[in-house]
Amino acid sequence: MLIPPFNEQSAMQKVRMAEDAWNSRDAQRVAQVYSEDTRWRNRSECVNGRSEVVAFLQRKWANELEYRLIKELWAWHHDRLAVRFAYEWRDDSGNWFRSFGNENWHFGADGLMITRYACINDLPIAESQRLFHWPLGRRPDHHPGLSELGL
């Protein structure tokens, strides 16, 4: 596990590890990088503790189908990272969306995330406007990131 203080390389690694975990859509796996008493604000919802993180993610991925995410480091300082992201998903009626957001992360000395603040906006898109076409799971290394895609 990568622990603070972060430098540019370790911050970028931490962001990619988070992206890979979220793209697995495995709530238990994702939750392991958060402290037991982690606190989140995700849109208008507050999540407290690792068990609530698991429940939140299970609900999320039950509704956000074919979820594919790209994260990009925005800034870092000691034990804090700022991340921007975009993900594409569809609902159960076949409507596609691209969700854009920013996250602020704060880590404990053990490398577990203590707080996560996320602001997210959803943009309806046509299926033909999708940009994230890799098979479900980890984004391939050769797939462009947000900046390369102009997002």
Per-residue pLDDT tens listing for the chain (151 residues): 899 999 999 999 999 999 999 999 999 999 999 999 999 999 999 999 999 999 999 999 999 999 999 999 999 999 999 999 999 999 999 999 999 999 999 999 999 999 999 999 999 999 999 999 999 999 999 999 999 999 9
Q: What angle do CA 122, 97, 21 make, to 5 degrees?
A: 90
DSSP code, position 122: E
What is the residue whose two structure tokens read 């870092």? 76
Q: What is 8-149's CATH topology?
A: Nuclear Transport Factor 2; Chain: A, (3.10.450)
Q: Tell me the C-alpha distance between 71 and 54, whole Å.
A: 20
- Half-sphere exposure (Cβ direction) of 143: Cα atoms closer than 13 Å: 15
Please give the pLDDT value at position 97: 98
Please give the pLDDT value at position 1: 80
109 phi and psi angles, rounded to 5 deg = -60, -25
- pTM here is 0.96
Of 62, 41, 43, 63, nearest to 52 by C-alpha is 41
